Amino acid sequence: MKIRFLCLLPLLVSFIPTAPSLAAGDRFALVIGNAKYPDADSPLKEPINDARDVADELKRDGFSVEVGENLTGDGMRRAFDKLYGKIKPGSVALLFYSGFGIQSARQSYMIPVDAQIWTESDVRRDGFSIEAVLGELNTRGAGVKIALIDASRRNPFERRFRSFSAGLTPVIAPNGTLVMYSAALASVVSDAGGDHSLFVQELLKEIRVPDLMAEETLNRTKMGVTRASRGEQVPWISSSLAEDFSFIPGAAGSRPTATTSPPAPPAPSPPPVANNPPPAPPPAPPAPVASNNPPAPPAPPSPPPAPKPQIEAALPPPPPPAKPAEPAPNGGPSESTLAEDPTIKSLTAKIAANPDDQNALYRRGQVYASKGAYSLAIKDFDNTLRINSKDVEALNNRCWTRTVVGDLQGALKDCNEALRLRPNFVDALDSRGLVNLKSGAVKNAIADFDAALRINPRLTSSLYGRGLAKQRNGSAQEGALDIANAKAMDPNIVQEFASYGVR
- The residue segments making up the domain with residue 471 are 415-503
Q: How confident is the model at residue 331 (pLDDT cuts 50, 70, 90)?
A: low
Mean pLDDT across 456-469: 88
422 & 286 share domain: no
Segment 207-214 shows an average pLDDT of: 88
Start-to-end Cα distance in the chain: 17
424-437 burial, b at 16+ Cβ within 10 Å, e below that, comes to ebbbbbbbbbbbbb
Band (pLDDT 50/70/90 cuts) for residue 1 is low
* 280: pLDDT strictly greater than 50: no
Does residue 433 lie within any of the structural domains?
yes
Where is average pLDDT lowest: 23-27, 111-115, 272-276, 355-359? 272-276
Q: Round to whole Å and give the CA distance between 444 and 331.
A: 30
The answer to whether residue 198 sits within a structural domain is yes
* Domain annotation covers residue 161: yes
What is the pLDDT, as a whole number, of residue 50? 95
Q: Which strands make up the sheet holding 27-33, listed edge to edge? A: 14-17, 64-69, 27-33, 92-98, 144-150, 177-181, 236-239
Residue 394 falls inside a structural domain: no
pLDDT higher than threshold 90 for residue 459:
no
If one compares 380 and 340, the residue with the highest pLDDT of the two is 380
Q: Mean pLDDT: which of 200-204, 227-231, 250-254, 358-362 is highest? A: 200-204
In the predicted structure, residue 154 carries a pLDDT above the cut 80 = no
Answer whether 317's CB lies under 8 Å from 308's CB. no
Which of 232, 259, 292 is a domain's end point? 292
pLDDT at 303 over 70: no
Q: Using the predicted structure, report yes or no on whether residue 255 has a pLDDT greater than 50.
A: no
Domain-embedded: residue 265: no
Burial of 302 (0-12, 13-18, 19+ CB in 10 A): exposed
* Any domain includes 80: yes
Q: Would you state the pLDDT for residue 165? A: 54
pLDDT at 420: 95
- The answer as to whether 5 is a domain residue is no
In this predicted structure, the answer to whether residue 18 has a pLDDT above a threshold of 70 is no
Mean pLDDT of the chain: 79
What's the pLDDT score for residue 251? 37
Give per-residue pLDDT as tens, 398-425: 998 999 999 999 999 999 999 999 988 8
421 and 287 together in one domain: no
Q: How confident is the model at residue 488 (pLDDT cuts 50, 70, 90)?
A: confident
- pLDDT of res. 436: 96
Note the Cα 75 to chain centre separation in Å. 20
Q: How many CB atoms lie within 10 A of CB 420?
A: 13
**For residue 220, what is the domain's CATH number?**
3.40.50.1460
- How would you list the strands of the sheet with 107-110, edge to edge? 101-104, 107-110, 128-129
- Write the pLDDT tens digit of every residue in 43-57: 898 999 999 999 999
Is residue 469 in a domain? yes
Look at residue 195 in the predicted model and tell me its pLDDT.
77
pLDDT of residue 345: 86
Last residue of a domain, one of 263, 292, 321: 292
- Please tell me the predicted confidence (pLDDT) of residue 30: 98
**Residue 141: what pLDDT?**
93
Strands 92-98 and 27-33: parallel
| Percentage, residues of the chain above pLDDT 70 | 76
- The pLDDT, as a whole number, for residue 293 is 41
In the chain, the number of structural domains is: 2
Closest to 116 (Cα-Cα) out of 206, 6, 247, 227: 6
The answer to whether the Cα torsion of 128, 132, 135, 140 is positive or negative is negative
pLDDT at 308: 38
CATH number of the domain where residue 453 is located: 1.25.40.10
Coil, strand or helix at 307 = coil
Does residue 299 register a pLDDT over 60? no
pLDDT band at 81 (very low <50, low <70, confident <90, very high): very high
Q: Please report the pLDDT score of residue 104 as a whole number.
A: 80
Give the pLDDT confidence score for residue 455 in this predicted structure: 83
Main-chain dihedrals φ then ψ at residue 94, nearest 5 degrees: -125, 135
Q: How far is CA 421 from CA 120, 387, 389, 392, 416, in A?
A: 21, 16, 10, 7, 9
> Of 29, 161, 62, whose CA–CA distance to 459 is shortest?
161
pLDDT the model gives residue 335: 85
pLDDT for 171: 83
Residue 407 near residue 329, CB atoms below 8 Å: no
When pLDDT is cut at 50, 70 and 90, the band that residue 198 belongs to is very high
pLDDT band at 204 (very low <50, low <70, confident <90, very high): very high
Label residue 191 by pLDDT band (50, 70, 90). Answer: low
- The answer on pLDDT for 143 being more than 90 is yes
93 and 230 in a single domain? The answer is yes
From residue 29, how far is each of 18, 59, 67, 307 by CA, in Å?
A: 11, 9, 9, 34
